[in-house]
Structure 1
Amino acid sequence: MPRTAAAAAPPPLLLLSAAAAIAIAVAVAAPDGHLVASLPGFHGAFPSKHYSGYVTVDEGSGRRLFYYLVTSERDAAADPVVLWLNGGPGCSSLDGFVYENGPFNFERGSDPGGLPNLELNPYSWSKVSNVVYLDSPAGVGMSYSLNKSDYTTGDLKTAADAHTFLLKWFELYPEFQSNPFYMSGESFAGIYIPTLADEVVKGIEKDLKPRINFKGYLIGNGATDQDYDFNSFVPFAHGMGLISTELFEDASTACHGTFWGKVNNLCQEKIDRVHWELKDLNKYNILAPCYHHPEIQELEFKNSSLPSSFRKLGETEKRFPVRKRMAGRSWPLRAPVTRGRMTMWPELGGRSLPCTSDELANAWLDDEDVRAAIHAEPKSLIGSWELYTARIEYYHDTGDSMVKYHKKFTAMGYRALIYSGDHDLCIPYVGTEAWVRSMGYRVIDHWRPWYFGGQVAGYTQGYEHNLTFLTIKGAGHTVPEYKPKETLAFYSHWLSGEKI
């Protein structure tokens, strides 16, 4: 299992000035130093307290993870603490803070080159919970390491570091140690959360202190099992009327139900045809327009079934040359995994994610006054903020199905909510529903609509062992971004143990 950078000797630590070293030491001295008093672009009082800063997870390498805590606007002392993780791997969780369930709505200001305006988000998850946004692993968002060898990482190291972060974070905030603790996230967090939960559960069994009061998790449009996830796009595309019945039947016959990986030539021809039919869609929400021209998606669709090393460069690849770095606002659509190494979006086509804009987040988080306000290091030390990182050089994906983790945790009594925006082409709901059903649990709340504002907001099915599957009608890959009102509704009900 070769790992190109892992076998090399670690490079020397980056040198810091004495002033920078002192500043880092002071920044993590106490939570009082993490209080966010104000934020550029926002005028007024926060409805609850905000804290942010770094937690060092490895002293030797200077590996530090950045977090932003928004305390509950309702009852911070009693409400759950919820960890939020965006996907990728390589996506900053400040993406969720800015565009999804954070305390503010970001609007473009009157000055085209200026900072965005921040207004309170009436559907922030902080209405009913304390939310911790964590940039993970090191190299993502504002998190970093002084040792570049740490940018060779993977599922297991990411989970171990996040567990270390949680233990140290609860030491910094002992007032939250008794609160119910949940994990949440989307996309590749479908890998992050089960592997982190496994570390947390093992720590509880070992009686590690502080004891984490772990109660369960909720995952949206999560990467879970390659067979279920990657085989769902053809049936989903047909069910949504995106491809003809003739093409669907031809592909099904040629591929024998397997639409990714090592397939026969006729199957590959049919898959390529399906990809071509879908190439101009916003894969994160087939109902939404593309922010910029979708031409750069062609390479991703073209190379989605076989490793890129098996293919010759075509015209699209020549226009958008491969870059050896990682990325991902979200789990890449059928990106190949070769001997454990994930092939990420920039390697498939270019810097910009298809149909996605991150201009407001970039403008705000790259501003030095903003960085000072949230206690993040300046660009001179850690570089520009990126929605998806260019720093991580190698990510090792174990390739394991996460279904075994879900069976383990639910059998132990932990609660799990698996939800899906039903118009996501990236991780279609049909694959997610299929793996949930594959667990073999007895249905105790049969498939039914759930409502918001007197209207059907989606469908849900409840299983024994505290497992719930839920769809959100009209939502895409990043559910809180597309349906904030409905999301806060099911989130609030589920956290409180009420029927959705």
Structure 2
Amino acid sequence: MVVNKMNWIGLPALLLLLLFNTGTSQSIIKTLPGYSGTLPFKLETGYIGVGENDEVQLFYYFVESENNPKTDPLIFWISGGPGCSGLSTLVYETVCFCTGPFYYDVADFDGSLPSILPNPYSWTKLYGFQVASIIFIDSPVGTGFSYANTSKGYSSSDKKSAKDNYTFLRKWLLNHPMLSKNRLYVAGESYGGKLVPMVAMEILLGNEAGLRPRMSLQGYIIGNGLTDPNIDYNERIPIAHRLALISDEYFELAKVSCGGKYDNPDPNNVQCLLALQPIKESQNYESCYVWANDLTVQEALRIRKGTIGEWMRCNRSISYEVNQKSVLHYHEIFSNKGYNVLIYNGDHDLLIPYMGPLKWIRNLSMTIDDDWRPWHVNGQVAGYTMKHKKNEFNLTFVTVKGAGHTPPEYKPKECLAMIHRWLSTRLL
């Protein structure tokens, strides 16, 4: 049996697997409370230890493609926050984030355990055509069901989280050698979009250093992602004006008084502060909880008893240092290499507006390969798109019409069509 395994994954990979195997567990989940019968998809959960002594135990959910998982793409999904659980993306209330295979039926929710239903717009299944297998991770430590064995282990940061995610992915692929050569994409939304290029860079550097397993990184996917606060946050007032949430008079006064700089304005610029005040007062920036905290659910998911207290969709109390303010230079580095990138934004998002990416994408000095135009789903305009190119690097920018901060939550059918076409290397 050992000989067969060595022939299968190779002696070097086997030695790495034995070296990295501490703190790792995985289980196939066939049933879940709230769902009637056996799950119609393959769901795996587990822990993988990272850190010097595996003191950090990162929890994950893996949903396998139902078509051909040996050849379909593999997506490694990083949620936002920082501190929002992968369960947020896997499934969340009546309208799911739509990448996962099921959603909660809370139409008649009375506080008891809600039912869960198959999601027809899952990114792992499109009416018989597969999109990808997806790993959803609870990261950084303290998020969702992830925990640490030491108090020091609970401290994290942008840079540490990126390295921990890379270590996690290395170990996970060593435990799943049949997927180690699949086309790999790092993906995420919101604050996760900041970590996506950082994790992709760790993979790139690891591949260049000859670390095993070598990952078949194809590119990355970012939805309404934070890239540079000075660019992204500064577009909140212009987008509010475009959406008719503030008047022309308020906007013109702010533009003149603040010189176009609305985020963290000069505290000595009294005119700017006065102009921004009525605008801020007029804006309003925008269950899973019961299900995830149910002990039978946690037992079904193979959660280790006593490792966390109350499960929270987004844990705002994690010990986390923001030590990478902007990730624009990561995009600049990748733009000089042969990767494929998808940047999508809901055109009604006030938190990280679509106008931010339009600005920082221009800094990458690419040529326009497919100019600004509408894209359609079922004959209806689903948004607008344009494609940029630099040598072998391709970046597709997409807006999702009528969508807010997490587009698949608002427009599941359109977002599924978007990711399907992009992964199939088709124009939107």
Aligned pair count? 393
- Taking the aligned partners of 2:339 and 2:404, their CA distance within structure 1 comes to 27
Distance 1:391 1:273 in 2: 31
SS in 2 for 1:388: coil
Gaps of 5+ in 1: 1-24, 284-354
Counterparts of 1:181 and 1:374, CA distance in 2: 25
- Summarize the alignment of residues 388-403 of structure 1 with structure 2, pairs less than 5 Å apart: 388-399=314-325, 401-403=326-328
- 2:29 is aligned with 1:36: yes
Deviation at 1:165, TM superposition (A): 0.1
Residue 245 of structure 1 pairs with residue 248 of structure 2: yes
Residue 290 of structure 2 is matched in structure 1 by 363
Map 1:5-404 → 2, pairs under 5 A:
28-29=24-25, 31=26, 34-58=27-51, 60=53, 62-99=55-92, 100=97, 101-108=99-106, 112-127=110-125, 128-263=131-266, 264-278=269-283, 281=284, 283=285, 355=286, 360-378=287-305, 380-399=306-325, 401-404=326-329
Residue of structure 1 in register with 2:381 after alignment: 456
- Which amino acid in structure 1 is aligned with residue 377 of structure 2? F
Q: State the one-letter code of the partner of 1:479.
A: P
Counterpart code for 1:222: G
Tell me the equivalent position of 2:370. 445
- Give the Cα–Cα distance (whole angstroms) in 2 for the partners of residues 61 and 498 of structure 1: 42
Displacement after TM superposition at 1:189 (Å)? 1.2
229-238 vs 432-441, which moves further: 432-441
Question: By percentage of residues, which structure has more strand?
Answer: 2
CA distance in 2: counterparts of 1:450 and 1:107, whole angstroms: 31
| Offset of residue 261 of structure 1 | 1.8
> How many angstroms apart in 1 are the aligned matches of 2:356 and 2:330?
17
Following TM superposition, by how much is the alpha carbon of 1:153 offset from its aligned partner in structure 2, in angstroms?
1.6
Q: Label 1:51 to 1:227 Cα distance change in 2 as closer, same or farther (>3 A).
A: same
Partners of 2:41 and 2:190 in 1: CA distance = 28
How big is each residue's C-alpha offset from its partner over 1:342-380, in whole Å with a ceiling of 9 and x where there is no partner?
xxxxxxxxxxxxx4xxxx1111111111111112223x3
Q: Name stretches of at least 5 consecutive residues in structure 2 with no aligned partner.
A: 1-20, 126-130
Instruction: Give the equivalent residue in structure 2 for 1:294.
Output: none
SS state at 2:345 partner: strand
Do the aligned partners of 2:335 and 2:364 also contact (CA within 8 Å) in 1?
no
Counterparts of 1:476 and 1:262, CA distance in 2 = 26
In structure 1, the residue matched to 2:9 is none
For residues 404 and 198 of structure 1, the distance between their equivalents in structure 2, rounded to whole angstroms, comes to 11
Q: Distance in 2 between matches of 1:170 and 1:61?
A: 17
| Map of 1:340 onto structure 2 | none
The CA deviation at 1:434 is 1.4
Q: What do residues 401-432 of structure 1 show as CA deviations (whole Å, max 9, x unaligned)? A: 22211121132111100000000000011112
Measure the CA separation in 2 of the matches of 1:252 and 1:88: 30
CA distance in 2 between partners of 1:77 and 1:47 (Å): 19
Change in CA separation of 1:112 and 1:26 when aligned onto 2, cut-off 3 Å: farther
Deviations 1:443-498 (A, max 9, x none): 01000000001000000000112111100000000111111000100101111111
Of the structure 1 ranges 92-101 and 382-391, higher mean CA displacement relative to structure 2 is found in 382-391
Whether contact under 8 Å (2:80, 2:192) holds in the other structure is yes
| Cα contact 1:185–1:220 (8 A) shared by 2 | yes
Per-residue deviation, 1:109: 7.3
| Contact preservation (8 Å) 2:55, 2:153 | no
Letter of the structure 1 residue corresponding to residue 288 of structure 2:
A
**Aligned AA (1:361):** C
Cα distance in 1 for residues equivalent to 2:230 and 2:112: 45
Match of 2:407, as an amino acid? V
CA 174–239 in structure 1, closer or farther in 2 if over 3 Å, else same: same
Q: CA–CA distance in 2 between the matches of 1:111 and 1:219?
A: 32
The one-letter amino acid of 2:142's match is G
Q: Name the aligned partner's letter for residue 53 of structure 1.
A: G
TM-score (norm 1): 0.76
Q: Would the aligned equivalents of 2:41 and 2:63 in 1 still touch at CA under 8 Å? A: yes
Q: 1:480 is matched by which residue type in structure 2? A: P
**Alpha-carbon distance in 2 for matches of 1:477, 1:119:** 24
3-state SS of the aligned residue for 2:29?
coil
Matches of 1:390 and 1:492 in 2, distance apart?
33
SS of the equivalent of 1:436 reads: helix
Q: Is the 8 A contact 2:23 2:54 kept in 1?
A: no
Q: Is the 8 A contact 1:105 1:118 kept in 2?
A: yes
Task: Please give the alpha-carbon distance, in whole angstroms, between the structure 1 residues aligned to 2:355 and 2:316.
Answer: 32
How many percent identity over aligned positions? 41
User: CA offset at residue 262 of structure 1?
Assistant: 4.1
Q: 1:48, 1:242 → 2: CA distance? A: 43
Tell me by how many angstroms 1:28 deviates: 3.1
> Alpha-carbon deviations, 1:309-358, whole Å to 9, x = none?
xxxxxxxxxxxxxxxxxxxxxxxxxxxxxxxxxxxxxxxxxxxxxx4xxx
Most deviating of 146-155 and 463-472: 146-155
Residue in structure 1 matching 2:404, options 476, 480, 494? 476
Q: Given residue 232 of structure 2, which amino acid in structure 1 is its aligned partner?
A: D
1:467 matched to 2:395: yes
SS at structure 2 position matched to 1:232: helix
Q: 1:192-221: per-residue Cα shift (whole Å, max 9, x none)?
A: 101111111100000100111111111000
Structure-1 residue corresponding to 2:4: none
Deviations 1:79-103 (A, max 9, x none): 0110111111111121011121211
